[in-house]
Amino acid sequence: MNVQLLSVSLSSWLLLATCTGQTPLPAPGQPAPGQPAPKAQDPDPATVLAEVVQQMQKEGIAFDPKAQTVAVKAIVNQPQDPIEYLLIHKKGKRHEAIFVTKSKPSVLNAALLMLGLQPGKNATVTEKTPLPTLEEVQAGVDPLIVTPPQGTPFFMTVRWTTPEGKAVEHCVEDMVLDLGTQQAIADCSWIYLGGRLARIYKNEPEVYVADFEGNLVSVCYLSPDNHLGTMVHKNARDDQNWWTTTLVPPADTEVEFVFHKEETPLHKERSKKLAAAAKAAADGAPADGGAAGKEPEPKPEPKPEPKKEPKKDGGK
């Protein structure tokens, strides 16, 4: 059994214990008179791994160490507003999300830790010093310095079976429409944040915030980083810039949302198509962009007015 995997499993189990209020280590028994207290025994790694996997199975989460994937069951949502989240828990912001899962966020996060994802840094925003003048701002000078999220990228795909019985799978990027270009999003990456523990109520223990808010993977820069992952893109500070492409199946379609540690063959093929389309555009010739090019078109929806500043995620 892989020692590194067992080590991560132990960390994941301790996180789950913290989030659920369970005692992570057994309390020592009462010592006999005059005898020193017995030392607490560390959990058996194999037992820990079995408990974590069992908890994941209860939440509909499939961890595949060989394929280096974590998959969760989800359904297609029907958002009413511009997209802020790629994936949410059923408690999350359904009016601005594409996919919804019933899997508990803390358990999903434990699975992503077992996958070997390392938490990165969320986007930060600071004011320029000195601030630009009013005339400069009116001329288009940005008064803010936005530092994008940083860390090791991970990858995501969505797979499902069509009514005709055909199994399909797509990169998530092909399912997010950039309203600025009217094409599927390009030149983006995804950074794992890992969520955070915080005290929801005064004098109460810290809890895993995503279990309460239900927001999992964002397509714009949101603070604080209660969510598990975020997009990195030059327009990700704009929470009004994203919609869905025609590749997204009808609402309530059951899908499998898959997290990948390594770049997938689908993503490699997509990168080739984007590069070919970019070269053809530079040469002034048409190119077959496929799903990564001209195929995804917007569902009929008026373009919202963009917001210019990054947004703090303050509730539903």
What pLDDT, in 10s, does the model give residues 74-89?
999 999 999 999 999 9
Share in percent of the chain as helix, strand, coil (round to 5): 25, 25, 50
Instruction: Measure the CA–CA gap between 107 and 60, rounded to whole angstroms.
Output: 10
Can you give the pLDDT at residue 51? 83
Can you give the pLDDT at residue 31? 58
Q: State how far the alpha carbon of 98 is from the alpha carbons of 22, 75, 94, 279, in Å.
A: 33, 9, 8, 31
What mean pLDDT do residues 195-202 have? Answer: 92
What mean pLDDT do residues 243-262 have? Answer: 98
Can you give the pLDDT at residue 50? 81
What mean pLDDT do residues 45-59 have? Answer: 85
272 versus 292: which is more confidently predicted?
272
Written as six digits, the tokens of 312 are 């703090």
Q: State how far the alpha carbon of 20 is from the alpha carbons of 68, 104, 201, in Å.
A: 26, 11, 16
Percentage of the chain modeled with pLDDT above 90: 69
- Which one-letter amino acid corresponds to residue 109? N
What mean pLDDT do residues 18-46 have? Answer: 59
Assess contact for 85 and 220: CB atoms under 8 A: no
51 versus 178: which is more confidently predicted?
178
pTM of the model: 0.81
Instruction: Measure the CA–CA gap between 14 and 20, rounded to whole angstroms.
Output: 10
Can you give the pLDDT at residue 48? 78
Instruction: Measure the CA–CA gap between 261 and 218, rounded to whole angstroms.
Output: 18
What mean pLDDT do residues 202-214 have? Answer: 94
Written as six digits, the tokens of 247 are 């590749």
Percentage of the chain modeled with pLDDT above 70: 77
Least confident of 23-37, 130-144, 211-225, 252-266: 23-37
**Residues in contact with 67: Cβ distance below 8 Å, sequence separation at least 6, in sequence order:** none
